[in-house]
Amino acid sequence: MVAYRDAEGTEHMAIVKGDVTGDDVLCRVHSECLTGEVFGSRRCECGPQLERALQRIEESGRGVVVYLRGHEGRGIGLINKIRAYALQDEGADTLEANQLLGFQGDMRSYDVAAQILADLGVRSVALMTNNPTKVEGLEDCGVRVMRRVEHHVGVHDDNRFYIETKVARMGHLIELDEARGNGVD
């Protein structure tokens, strides 16, 4: 594990397996999610995504998870994420909830992830993600994404509407029929 502190004082982590210098490094850029990772919320797939990324890297013998703090709720923060949950409980989807609170659908920046990968000597990545905006955001920061690796972890009753919204309104690349029952149900 390698810890980093950005210019604003936020601490981030890189979990490294093997020699990650070079090209086509298996990589997950993962946003902090206290509710999903610590408290086991089933509203999202963040906890299982982190676990699956660590498992895949362990199996491959080489890779890195860049764990970005300060990204809670796609960058709106924990308190606003809880407010967004309340709006979702009233019928808003995840994108509408953020917008009703005055935020864009996704407020995250990936410049710190790019700096961490460069510091580790990673020249290009095989990125575990379903989010094309993350691919684009990393590429805009200078990260060479050689390929996107599907990162489905499962659809169940508690996250179905959330994931369907991410597919329909945010362009996430998830085959819903394939994802159902994939490790979470």
Interatomic CA distance for residues 170 and 175, integer angstroms: 14
106 classed as catalytic:
yes
Token pair for 53:
């990324």
Instruction: Please identify which of the residues 106, 140, 147, 148 carries the catalytic annotation.
Output: 106
Interatomic CA distance for residues 110 and 136, integer angstroms: 10
Token pair for 22:
């070079």
Instruction: Please identify which of the residues 28, 108, 140, 144 carries the catalytic annotation.
Output: 108
Interatomic CA distance for residues 91 and 58, integer angstroms: 39
Half-sphere exposure of 47 (CA within 13 A, CB side): 14
Active-site positions?
A: 106, 108
